[in-house]
Structure 1
């Protein structure tokens, strides 16, 4: 999503051409709104032009797939997708997608506005399935390939999925096979798509073969009954509580997301490399959609710390995507003679979570032209990107832009509940520059809308805050702690509530606690995130109270969590307590426990850490603590 600007406000900026301003007026604006006032006015003018373009696209009911089809018609021989040794052109993918769309239609199982799912790694079959489903006007649910069992089944049920496009990797097939009885009972079809090398597939699944289907264009009429207000996609987020929630992404938001790189100058000559999973909004909305609109090339793979820069050079990438954890992995590797040497200049890297302590070293060592750190959320209405390279910042919200729009507010809040405090007048209490607070985003009926989660009214309501500055106003609760400095630069500090982020994934503490509580003998489990030196985000930790008749069996407990949870969501540390700490309203205390962390010199309770080499939870003593602190223990 580009930074939204109200059309009336931007129109004022557009009318006030810089050259025509009287000297006295220019001096007044500079004095009142700072030295960047004219840069801000020019920026707002650009946003106004962009909003006009988006309005035109909406009037034409333009979908993201329309951009792809136009590029396939105009530049069919241009490379669209690079994957290892494979090169897929716009024209070739267009033909294959048309064949797959005809196969899907011939089954009679789905029609326009029905929902299908994609369960794949970063591979050509993911893109092929996406194209085919879009051509038929189908809604899509992106399934996290780390999920399994009940969590995976929950996601499928939540979106009322009728069919699943599954990759051929054995890990994916095993996850599907484990829930096949439930899928068959629901009438959900599983299509296996990709080069399978004639491997045996589990009973009940269908191997897709499109060799005898036609590859000519699918009529646009197949999808025209779907408006730009209809849901195009469901991307799962942990939100704040419970199992993964499907965030609703309407077609107009997909198109709007495809302009994120407009201010960064992405062109058809660029090659964007992403190793982030396409089921996440970071790779999909911030990366993939922009490539499709512009008509450039995307290089896809799964992340490998040893292969990353070789791939960048191999694909001649000019843009890369990152998360902070990737940057730490890469900079921790021994220096190589070819660090930062590319046949094509790496113009910029875009992502989030790059910490200030490695920012400059990362950019300098790998010769990256610009770090475009951003702030955004899958379900959020707001996106901002660092355009001027301010170290550690996600962007600037300042001066005349702030005065005229007033859609970001940073307020005091309760760290336990992630809810804002209220002053004597009943309104939220703003935080001054330099102090950390909860960021709220003003909502309206046009550019700043919260589309929410599918079929979850209570979760939607929890994200809204009313009467923030004035009676009747409405804001989106980001759940994030942000600080802004006197120059208006924003800096992300932490995530609040019952969600933390680890290895680039959101982890819902209540979901993990639910799994832990299923283990025999556990009376209560309180899950929270803790800081670990040398790592971004927070690692999962669980404070556990056992019934008097039971005690921890470290190996059995390890087997329970890895069987039920993705590895990134498994608690890395355990704290065995005799009694759970609760608040005055009988809620689990998390803030104090998170602050105490996992230091055996501070905590007298028995502590354990997840030893993936020995496949058990091992006692956390001083020797183990030292290994964790210096990065020798795998977490």
Structure 2
């Protein structure tokens, strides 16, 4: 009997090891969730009910009195049925403005319930909202309106200060601009709740549900159509994989004009859960709003969770109902510290983009996989071996490296950085950029593994290990070359962020006279009222990083330029470099004088030092 028990225990342990190694159970769970998407889309298209409005209607039929929308700013709440009537009234307003199926309507709106009403009502009519970044004004705003090809512009009254200075130019472009102030919203609220004529929309999986804009860090934002199949995938597959139920409540304060925040709403409407909306991210208000929302899920982007960690510890840190944090851009050094402090069991880190063909997921519940943006187990790796891969690229030119004999791309091996590619099985699935075929073409690459194949270029350097874990290395173009070595800005920033006096950091390469490649520069924000010991920081950097990756320069700043999703914007920093006359006089530049070996502390970098580099007196 004892031998049987020992044998059973050994078999059980072996099975656990096999499952942990192959991730078979996770692969099967993900496949099951993905298959649900295919069935749901086929059924919706067959019934002529393929729209987000029809998904809302299905919920109203099943659970009309279930909570659907909670606005943490003022406690406003709506059931599925109440939202349905608000959407129908909003649709009546758009009908009165002449909106028809396939029309595009530009929308600049902050996080408010009306954002959801506008989106669903336009989809009910077969129309498409183009969600403009509400922080934009002037030329970037005018550009977004022009390329949208819309004629109606809906504006949150809180944004008058951004829009009104350009109002005359917007009028000249032929736009009918409607400001949604209290008076306008009250008038819409008095309209009849009449069901829109939405049964002959002729939608299919590739129909555009909305248009997002890229962040515009390297130029004006580009409009990226978001097809219904993407939302069905997020709402059904990701929601199911996250184990969401109608009892869950999902809180986000990330802007809804971006896909990450909107995906939280999508999961709620497909899973019959409650969507809890914060107006704007605030460290001081975040947990109070989460508690007020009774949220079980929270959403993060970029540095959001690190900012929450900067708040002083509180006895209320674990006073919440949250069991899962969902988002992207979580730094490895914050990952477990955040989980331990706030007692959140699950972290779902994902990787995706508005133009991408797929989403990678890492449903993390322990130390295994911390820092990874997704994992493909043994089964998934076999099934997607041609769908998801990384290829060798030239970091200087950002072009692919092809085999001189075959002409095809060279796929990287394990633990080797390469640009992530996603196969485009059918061109209809890749929407690219709206009305911009040239920019769309730049995001694709042909003849990767065989003649005639087509892939989406992510522009991101990734690596994967032998167990199928994928890790973000750097943005292509951010990685720079110094002393014949490739330097990952992400890895350098991660190392420097562990230094106690560093509150925020962004790393980039700068050009120097009479030197090949780019030297590393770290823009640093220090902790409040904390001085920076330049000798200690230099010692820390040298012990934490390979010699070639130690930043030669520091730029001290009060605040880093960020996108609205808390991601560093480095374009201007790279452009200015370290030349004293080009850098903002409020920012002090320091350097390891004479190079990493010679310099034992960071000292002020002066005009005279720059001239020594120009003349060739100093070589690094």
TM-score w.r.t. the length of structure 1 is 0.72
Q: 1:247 aligns with which of 206, 224, 229?
A: 224
What is the alpha-carbon distance in structure 2 between the residues aligned to residue 94 and residue 225 of structure 1? 21
> 2:535 maps to what in 1?
none
- DSSP 3-state at the match of 2:351: strand
**Is 2:332 the partner of 1:356?**
yes
Q: Does the 8 A contact of 1:122 with 1:300 survive in 2?
A: yes
**Is 2:460 the partner of 1:442?**
no
Give runs of aligned pairs for residues 212-251 of structure 1, distance below 5 A: 212-221=190-199, 224-238=201-215, 242-251=219-228
| Shift in Å, 1:225 | 4.2
Q: Does the 8 A contact of 2:29 with 2:241 survive in 1?
A: no
Q: Does the 8 A contact of 1:112 with 1:226 survive in 2?
A: no
| Shift in Å, 1:574 | 7.0
What is the alpha-carbon distance in structure 1 between the residues aligned to residue 447 and residue 227 of structure 2? 27
In structure 2, the CA distance between the partners of 1:322 and 1:34, relative to structure 1 (3 Å rule), is: closer
| Shift in Å, 1:125 | 1.6
In structure 2, the CA distance between the partners of 1:414 and 1:79, relative to structure 1 (3 Å rule), is: same
- DSSP 3-state at the match of 2:284: coil
In structure 2, the CA distance between the partners of 1:107 and 1:574, relative to structure 1 (3 Å rule), is: closer
In structure 2, the CA distance between the partners of 1:604 and 1:189, relative to structure 1 (3 Å rule), is: closer
In structure 2, the CA distance between the partners of 1:463 and 1:124, relative to structure 1 (3 Å rule), is: same
What is the alpha-carbon distance in structure 1 between the residues aligned to residue 26 and residue 270 of structure 2? 27
Q: Does the 8 A contact of 2:37 with 2:232 survive in 1?
A: no
Give runs of aligned pairs for residues 1-12 of structure 1, distance below 5 A: none
In structure 2, the CA distance between the partners of 1:572 and 1:355, relative to structure 1 (3 Å rule), is: closer
Q: Does the 8 A contact of 1:164 with 1:191 survive in 2?
A: yes
Give runs of aligned pairs for residues 224-623 of structure 1, distance below 5 A: 224-238=201-215, 242-259=219-236, 260-284=238-262, 286-301=263-278, 302-342=280-320, 344=321, 346-389=322-365, 390-406=369-385, 407-425=387-405, 426-445=407-426, 449-497=429-477, 533=497, 534=502, 538=506, 605-606=580-581, 608-609=583-584, 617-622=585-590
What is the alpha-carbon distance in structure 2 between the residues aligned to residue 541 and residue 35 of structure 1? 39
In structure 2, the CA distance between the partners of 1:626 and 1:103, relative to structure 1 (3 Å rule), is: farther
| Shift in Å, 1:298 | 1.1
> 1:123 maps to what in 2?
112
Q: Does the 8 A contact of 1:168 with 1:194 survive in 2?
A: yes
| Shift in Å, 1:104 | 2.0
- DSSP 3-state at the match of 1:122: coil
| Shift in Å, 1:131 | 2.2
In structure 2, the CA distance between the partners of 1:350 and 1:567, relative to structure 1 (3 Å rule), is: closer
| Shift in Å, 1:44 | 3.2
Q: Does the 8 A contact of 2:209 with 2:226 survive in 1?
A: yes
> 1:209 maps to what in 2?
187
> 2:44 maps to what in 1?
57
- DSSP 3-state at the match of 1:292: helix
- DSSP 3-state at the match of 1:379: coil
In structure 2, the CA distance between the partners of 1:240 and 1:328, relative to structure 1 (3 Å rule), is: closer
The superposition leaves residues 140-191 of structure 1 with CA deviations (integer Å, 9 ceiling, x where unpaired) of 100101111111111111111121221121xx11222112112212221122
Give structure 1 stretches of 5+ with no counterpart: 1-26, 197-205, 501-527, 546-561, 576-589, 610-616, 629-635
What is the alpha-carbon distance in structure 1 between the residues aligned to residue 36 and residue 180 of structure 2? 41
Q: Does the 8 A contact of 1:117 with 1:163 survive in 2?
A: yes
What is the alpha-carbon distance in structure 2 between the residues aligned to residue 45 and residue 327 of structure 1? 31
What is the alpha-carbon distance in structure 1 between the residues aligned to residue 32 and residue 123 of structure 2? 33
Q: 2:133 aligns with which of 138, 144, 152?
A: 144
What is the alpha-carbon distance in structure 2 between the residues aligned to residue 568 and residue 323 of structure 1? 7
**Is 2:196 the partner of 1:195?**
no
The superposition leaves residues 461-510 of structure 1 with CA deviations (integer Å, 9 ceiling, x where unpaired) of 1111112122222211111011101111001121114899xxxxxxxxxx
Q: Does the 8 A contact of 1:231 with 1:251 survive in 2?
A: yes
| Shift in Å, 1:74 | 3.4
| Shift in Å, 1:404 | 3.0
- DSSP 3-state at the match of 1:288: helix
The superposition leaves residues 226-248 of structure 1 with CA deviations (integer Å, 9 ceiling, x where unpaired) of 44433221100147853211111
The superposition leaves residues 330-375 of structure 1 with CA deviations (integer Å, 9 ceiling, x where unpaired) of 0111100110122x3x121111111111111101111111010111
What is the alpha-carbon distance in structure 1 between the residues aligned to residue 342 and residue 222 of structure 2? 37
What is the alpha-carbon distance in structure 2 between the residues aligned to residue 256 and residue 480 of structure 1? 22
The superposition leaves residues 71-129 of structure 1 with CA deviations (integer Å, 9 ceiling, x where unpaired) of 23433332211112211222222222212211221233x22211112211111121121
- DSSP 3-state at the match of 2:381: helix
In structure 2, the CA distance between the partners of 1:186 and 1:80, relative to structure 1 (3 Å rule), is: same
RMSD of aligned alpha carbons: 3.7
